[in-house]
Each structure stands twice: as C-alpha cells, then as structure tokens.
Amino acid sequence: MKLHEYQSKELLSKYGVPVPQGDVTSDPAEARAIAEKLGGKVVVKAQVLMGGRGKAGGVKLFETAADAANFAKDLIGKRLVSNQNPQGMIVDKVLIAETVDIAKEFYVAVLLDRATQKLLVMLSVEGGMEIEEVAEKNPDAIVKLNVDPAWGLCDFELRKAVKDANLPKEAHSQMVSMIKQLVKAYIESDADMIEINPCALTPEGRLIAADAKVSIDDNALFRHKEYAGTTSDSAEHPIEAEAVKRGIAYVNLGGEVGIMGNGAGLVMQSLDEINAAGGKPANFLDVGGGAQAERVKACVELVMMDQNVKGLFINIFGGITRCDEVAKGVLQAFDELDVKIPVVARIEGTAAEEGRKILEGSRVIPAATVQAAAAKIVELAYA
C-alpha cells in the first residue's frame, strides 16, 4: 500500500528523520490557518498517489497565507490529470508545508533487492529527478549498499558509501544517521520501499526530507491498523481502489484485453500470451484459489469497470477452484452487466466439463489451449 506524502513524512518523523513542518487538511479555511502558523511562505501539495502531480498543477509555492488558501480551495475537489495517470484523481486533501531553501539535492532510498535477498540502500548526489533517468544517463552516480540481515549496517560501510557518493563533507554524518533511521523505519513498518527525493541540504548545512514516498507491504497491513480505511481512497487507480475493498488482487495495466485467471503464475502467463498474440493486457486479476461463484462475479465486474476493455480472456485451471463455480459466476455477472464485448475462455481441471456445459449457449467462446484462447480474443477485441 502506497502512503500519501503526509503519511510518509509522519512515519519518517517518528524515526527522527527531519521533515518540513506542515499539516494536511481538506478545508480551505484550515489551510489558511496552517499557512499563517507557518509564516505565510508555504508550499501547497495535492495529496494524490499519482506521478507528475507537480506538472499537473498540484504543487505550488506561495508567499502569503491568503494565496495559499485560495489555491487550496481551487485544488480540493479538483481532478488532477497527468501523463502517468490520464484518468486523473480527485484531490480530497492538501498538504500545507513550510518551504525549504535548497542548496543541494540528493536521492536516498531503502528497498528490497530480490537478487541478493537483502535490503538495498541507494544513494545519489543527483536528487530531484527520477532515479530511473539517473540510472540510464549516469549509472555511476548511484551508490548501492546491501544490508546484511545478520549483521545489519556498520558505520564504516555507511561512511564509505556516503564518501563514494561524493556528498559534501558537511552532510556526511547527517546522511549516515539518516540512512540508519530509514533502515530502522523500513524494517519496523514492514515497508517494501522508502524513498526520499529530494533529500535537501539547506544553505545552513541541514539535511531534510523535502519529499518522501513510503510503500507498506500489503501482507503486513494487519499489523498497521493506523492505515485501516485509507487504502481504498489512496489507490493510484479507481478500479484498484475498488479491488482493495473487495479483497481481490487486481492491477490496471492500461491495455484493451481484460484478463481473469486463478493463480498469479497462470495470470502472468496469460499476460505474456496476450502480448505474444499482438494485444495489450488491460489488467492483472487473480480470482484466488477456491473461488466461489459470487467472487468470480465480483471479478468480472471489476474488469468491466474499465471502459477501455474490448475483450475478456478467462484462463482457469481448476484445482481447489471448481470450474463450474467459475462458470456460474461468469454468467451471473453477464446477466447483471449486459456484457457486449467478446469473451474467450480456456477452462481445464476440476469440474471443467460441468463448467463448459454451463457456458454452452452463452457469449463465451471456448478454447482448447491458452495460446488458442489468447489469439482468438486478440483477433476479436481488435476487429
């Protein structure tokens, strides 16, 4: 689960990471009060989980509390649209924070290195820009340090990493301390990513997290009740938000061929086959093991919420999932939604014959193999 900027900064602040003073609100009048408390010179930031919010007009600096409040009034309730999120997101909260005088910008992050199965600290003097762009244009500007799970971080390793990253000497000890705090926050909060970009060095020589991103492992959310109720409103895509409410594993991919399968591996194969056939997957959706008709119906509804979907590919291999239950759920959804798009299904495994019989006479076109099903749905969807 991705946290909003204000939530990320609240979390990091608890671990001693310096962050700009500020507060979040959905009330323009309160926005003015917050800005006045901070001296009037503030930055107003839309609290939406989407890339490019600055370019979309969701982040602005102001010299007076009145101007900040007027901007907050215009921003709250507005739909922000960016290149990364063309569907846009409604702004329901804004962060009012003190401005930070920046002498230099750095990048620092803690994430999981799946290749080494260790935590990875990434540090660069080229902050304030996308790290992917830095990695492409100047990979030597990124210093990487793996954290041994048995020994943890040693000071000499951190000092060397900070030196190798060519940080100014006045920032060395502060960065060593900050990285320790970030790793501690990462582990104790069950994060799968913590990123500070930019990490600002002020003219006075103080390090501060000017912007922050934190993502919490979804499987550990039961240990973090403080975020209960925030997932549905903070998902990057509205259908993903609805999927969270329903407890369904769904990721929007922006294509035109809707995909439903049982088991992450089978769904991933389905994505590959659609790509190989020349189509673009609209989503990843795993109905889960042992899914009953009602859950399958909910899954079909999720896929059909995407107006870009031109065809539906259902790929089921029944183990603990009964194919007849899948078929019942699909038809129930079709009855309620009046589905008009082409649908191709490959169904094998437990109760497959019964499932196929249930689907006979419906708009579902059967296919014997995954490859045949993918080719057929791509043909029909893009006809």
Placement of tokens 């490859």 in the chain: 371
- For residue 281 the two structure tokens come to 């997957």
CB 300 within 8 A of CB 314: no
Copy the structure tokens of residue 295.
């859950």
259, 281 Cβ separation under 8 angstroms = yes
Q: How many alpha carbons lie under 13 Å from residue 135 in its C-beta half-sphere? A: 8
- 354 an active-site residue? no
Strands 364-366 and 343-349: parallel
98 is catalytic: no
Dihedral of the alpha carbons of 155, 158, 164, 165, in degrees to the nearest 10: -150
> Catalytic residue among 5, 6, 105, 107, which?
107
Specify the pairing of strand 42-46 against strand 283-286: unpaired
Query: What residue type is 60 in one-letter code?
Result: K
- Residue 351 CA: distances (Å) to CA of 260, 321, 347, 356, 358: 18, 9, 9, 9, 11
- Burial-class residue 83 by CB neighbours within 10 Å (0-12, 13-18, 19+): exposed
| Active-site residue, selected from the candidate residues 195, 256, 273, 325 | 195
Distance CA 364, CA 103 (A): 62
Report yes or no: 246 and 221 within 8 Å, Cβ to Cβ. no
Q: Are 242 and 232 in contact (CB under 8 A)?
A: yes
Give the HSE-up count for residue 64: Cα atoms under 13 Å, Cβ half-sphere.
3
3-state class (DSSP) for residue 302:
helix
Strand partners, 123: 108, 143
Rounded distance, CA 216 to CA 214, Å? Answer: 7
- Locus of tokens 């101007």: 67
Active site residues: 107, 195
